[in-house]
Structure 1
Amino acid sequence: MTVRFSSGTWYLFDYGKVISTEPEPADWAALERETGLQLAPASSPYWAHREAFDAGVASPAEYWARVLGRDSVDADKVRALEDLDAAQWSHLNPETLRILETLAGAGAQLALLSNMPVRMSERYLRESSWPAYFTRTFFSGQLGLIKPDVRIFEHVLNELAAAPGDVLFVDDNLPNIEAARSLGLPTVHFGPETDLERQLAS
């Protein structure tokens, strides 16, 4: 099947669990060795404090102090934890990359909207290959807004100078999908079984 695209459409992709895969067990194990905590479960402090970190409200030092239940964390410890955190979200989905390469090669308009802390987004923009597919990139930590707040979608629409119906949004998180739909964006709810090529072709 060949991915087809509309010349007037922006394709707006999420990063985590769409372009990247989920962290692997070995990644969580590395964080556990560094912290002494099991951080993978949804109830863990890693996730409990993540929204403020992704939104740029909490600094890396503040976030990791909250995760560890401490008043403060020294700079070397913060750097080590940030390195492990960036590494565990750096595993890429080859099928999504193939589709991005096809779309970019055909001249499609590609943008990215991700909930991601500032330093992680700066690291990926500097060191990773996947940002080259995108004309525009938007990160929650840099904007001070976080999905599913509709204001972040309004900001993106304004920056792209696009009508909602001309921006197709791909994300794994249902609340984010619902927020985009509330503004009139067509969406693809991405999951492990999603045939993204077929969804885009249709």
Structure 2
Amino acid sequence: MRLSFLRSIGYPPKNGGKVLAAPLGGRGESRVFDMQGTCRVDVLLFDYGGVLAEEGFREGLKAIALKNGLDPDAFFQTASEWVHASGYVTGKASEQTYWRHLRRETGIQGSDADLRREILDRFVLRDWMVRLVRVLKEAGVRLAILSDQTDWLVQLDRRDRFFQYFEAVFNSFVEGRSKRDSALFDQVVGRLGTAPSEVLFMDDNPGNIERARSRGLETILYRDRRAFLADLVRFCPFLEASVS
């Protein structure tokens, strides 16, 4: 299977709800394929950082560590645990509390705004993923986001305007639970008004994938673009014409 999504699929769809697929490698005639019966599940549920976008939290924290002469992996582990332990990721503590604790525990320097910028600047939407989401939305597929994020997610949307593609955005900061709590998946499925088996959850964290699977959701562990598209085609066969 040759996966070249951006080169092979035409957007926006034309011809009354059909997608015009450009020829692979510039050879052959374009094909038109129907988008009816698009996916084998009701909802595609995307993680944000690490799936829709580059993982800015991890990379930003590692950059902060390097600027402060700290071991990046050790600092990332400390900062990741504290975003949960402090309650910041579930809306029970403020950003100020989060950074104040990290300064006290690790000695890092910088204002809240400067530290935040190191992280947010590294959350970069993947162009090919945005293109994919647009095609799925145009095909009538239900799309949602489930992210362990903070109030930063709204700031990221103000910058990049990606909420518009999704019917629902579930942010741990608002929901009061993170993906470390399996009950969050029940909560989200209930809000979507469907069955767990009708939701395909995509995340780059194996623990999150395992917890979602334990609650009956279909899952894809994001590893890289090629593997992700190959996995997604199993659930949304109409995409096969554009990636094979």
Please classify the TM superposition score into its range, dividing by the shorter chain length.
0.7 to 0.9
Out of 209, 216, 219, which is 1:187 matched to?
A: 219
Aligned to 1:167: 199
Aligned to 1:13: 46
- Identity among equivalent positions (%) equals 27
Aligned to 1:53: 88
Out of 122, 136, 143, which is 1:110 matched to?
A: 143
CA positional deviation for 1:22: 3.0
CA RMSD of aligned residues (A): 3.2
- Aligned 1:27-106 pairs, distance under 5 A: 27=60, 31-32=64-65, 36=68, 38=70, 40-44=72-76, 45-51=78-84, 52-69=87-104, 77-88=111-122, 90-106=123-139
The answer (yes or no) to whether the contact 2:43–2:141 under 8 Å persists in 1 is yes
| TM-score of the aligned structures, taking structure 2 as reference length | 0.70
1:33-89 C-alpha deviation (Å, 9 max, x unpaired): 77x25374155432231223222233101100111116xx9xx9222222322222x
CA positional deviation for 1:161: 0.5
The answer (yes or no) to whether the contact 1:169–1:180 under 8 Å persists in 2 is yes
The answer (yes or no) to whether the contact 2:189–2:195 under 8 Å persists in 1 is yes
Aligned to 2:230: 198
| TM-score of the aligned structures, taking structure 1 as reference length | 0.83
| Corresponding letter in the other structure for 1:112 | I
CA positional deviation for 1:148: 2.6
Q: Which protein shows a greater Rg?
A: 2
Q: Which runs of 5+ in 1 are unaligned?
A: none
The answer (yes or no) to whether the contact 2:45–2:143 under 8 Å persists in 1 is yes
- Compared CA separation, residues 147 and 92, structure 1 to 2 (3 A): same
Aligned to 1:156: 188
SS in 1 for 2:211: helix
SS in 2 for 1:137: strand
The answer (yes or no) to whether the contact 1:5–1:201 under 8 Å persists in 2 is no
CA positional deviation for 1:9: 1.0
